[in-house]
Chain A
Amino acid sequence: MAGLPRRITKETQRLLSEPVQGISATPDENNLRYFHVTINGPKDSPFEGGVFKLELFLPEEYPMAAPKVRFNTKIYHPNIDKIGRICLDILKDKWSPALQVRTVLLSIQALLSAPNPDDPLANDVADNWKRNEAAAIKTAREWTQKYAMSGGQ
Chain B
Amino acid sequence: MTQSDESSLISLTDEPLVVDLNARRRRRRRIRSTTSNGSGDVIVIDSPAEVSNPVAPRRRRRQRRSNGDSVVDLTCNDSVELVDLTTPASLIRPPLNRTQKRTDAAGLITTTSAPRQDLLSHEDTSPILKLNCPVCLEPLHSVIRAGRKICSTVCGHIFCRSCIKQAVRTCKKCPTCRKKLTEKGFHDIFLPIS
Residues on A lying within 8 angstroms of B by beta carbon are 2-3, 5-7, 10-11, 60-61, 63-65, 94-98
The A interface, classified by DSSP as helix, strand, loop or mixed, is: loop
30 residue pairs bridging A and B, Cβ less than 8 Å apart: A2-B1, A2-B4, A2-B5, A5-B1, A5-B3, A5-B4, A5-B136, A6-B136, A6-B137, A6-B138, A7-B136, A7-B137, A10-B137, A11-B137, A60-B1, A64-B167, A64-B170, A64-B171, A65-B170, A95-B171, A96-B171, A96-B175, A96-B176, A96-B178, A97-B134, A97-B163, A97-B171, A98-B134, A98-B175, A98-B176
- Looking across the interface, which residue of chain A has its beta carbon closest to that of B163? A97
Question: B45-68, CB under 8 A of A: which get 1 and which 0?
Answer: 000000000000000000000000
Are A97 and B135 in contact, CB atoms less than 8 angstroms apart?
A: yes
Question: B153-194, CB under 8 A of A: which get 1 and which 0?
Answer: 000000000010011001101011010000000000000000
* A44 CB → nearest B CB, Å: 31
Are A63 and B1 in contact, CB atoms less than 8 angstroms apart?
A: no
> For A65, what are the chain B residues with a Cβ–Cβ distance below 8 Å?
170
- A-B Cβ contacts below 8 A, count: 42
> For B137, what are the chain A residues with a Cβ–Cβ distance below 8 Å?
6-7, 10-11
* B115 CB → nearest A CB, Å: 33
- Looking across the interface, which residue of chain A has its beta carbon closest to that of B5? A2
- Looking across the interface, which residue of chain B has its beta carbon closest to that of A11? B137
Are A63 and B138 in contact, CB atoms less than 8 angstroms apart?
A: no
* A16 CB → nearest B CB, Å: 15
Known contacts: A96-B171, A97-B167, A98-B134. The answer to whether A6 contacts B178 by CB under 8 A is no
> For A6, what are the chain B residues with a Cβ–Cβ distance below 8 Å?
4, 136-138
- Looking across the interface, which residue of chain A has its beta carbon closest to that of B7? A6
> For A95, what are the chain B residues with a Cβ–Cβ distance below 8 Å?
171
Are B136 and A96 in contact, CB atoms less than 8 angstroms apart?
A: no
Residue in A10, A11, A60, A96 whose Cβ sees the most chain B Cβ within 10 Å: A96
A98 to B170, CA, bound (A): 13
Known contacts: A64-B166, A64-B167, A64-B170. The answer to whether A98 contacts B135 by CB under 8 A is yes
Q: A63-B135, A64-B171, A65-B170 are in contact. List 9 more A-B contacts (CB 8 A).
A: A5-B1, A6-B137, A7-B136, A60-B1, A61-B170, A94-B178, A96-B173, A97-B134, A98-B134
- Looking across the interface, which residue of chain B has its beta carbon closest to that of A95? B171
Kindly identify, within residues 1 to 44 of chain B, every residue whose CB is under 8 Å from any CB belonging to chain A: 1, 3-5
* B141 CB → nearest A CB, Å: 15
Are B4 and A3 in contact, CB atoms less than 8 angstroms apart?
A: yes
